[in-house]
Structure 1
Amino acid sequence: MEYKYDEESVNALMKWAENAQLPKEVQLSEAEKIMDTKQYVQANLSDIRAHYPDEFYNPAIQRLYRLKSKAEEGE
């Protein structure tokens, strides 16, 4: 999946994260298990809101993209 960091793409991702119906726990990879998805989403959204477009915080955007990709796999 290609990650886009332009304002329109990031806003769309944030809107998705705010409205997505996600399970309480998600296994992102063999080594990554999210125990509280709601808290995970809120933490990443907070970083993005506070620091966008600072590239240092792009990992918060990447984490939401990865969560979205995993959620769409299950659909």
Structure 2
Amino acid sequence: MSEYKYDEESVKTLIVWAKSTSFPQQVKLSEAEDIYDVERYVQANLSDIDAHYPDAFYNPAITRLYRLKECIEGNER
């Protein structure tokens, strides 16, 4: 797991990625995390970020998108 960045520029870049990427219907992030509706998962996290950034309490929404990005890009290689 890499260190995630929560500065404004990094978060904006992550949001652009999330809005411009085509997602599969389902993703398995870990042994305990199965996402059955990836589009809804992404939209929910984007909504939290949009409503609450830069409140650090909502950094887990950013972390979830980073983890999804790692999973998606790792599967493409």
- TM tier, shorter chain? over 0.9
State how 1:25-64 maps to structure 2 within 5 Å: 25-64=26-65
The alignment's TM-score, normalised by the length of structure 1, stands at 0.98
* Count of matched residue positions in the alignment of Structure 1 and Structure 2: 75
The alignment's TM-score, normalised by the length of structure 2, stands at 0.95
Within 1, Cα distance between the matches of 2:8 and 2:38?
A: 24
Q: What do the CA deviations read for 1:28-73 (whole angstroms, capped 9, x no partner)?
A: 0000000000000000000000000000000000000000000011
Over the matched positions of the two proteins, sequence identity in percent amounts to 65
Within 1, Cα distance between the matches of 2:3 and 2:13?
A: 15
Paired residue secondary structure (1:74): helix
CA RMSD across the alignment: 0.5
Within 1, Cα distance between the matches of 2:35 and 2:58?
A: 19
1:8 maps to 2:35: no
Aligned structure 1 segments of 4 or more residues deviating by more than 2 angstroms: none
Give structure 2 stretches of 5+ with no counterpart.
Answer: none
Within 1, Cα distance between the matches of 2:29 and 2:48?
A: 20
Within 2, Cα distance between the matches of 1:7 and 1:15?
A: 12
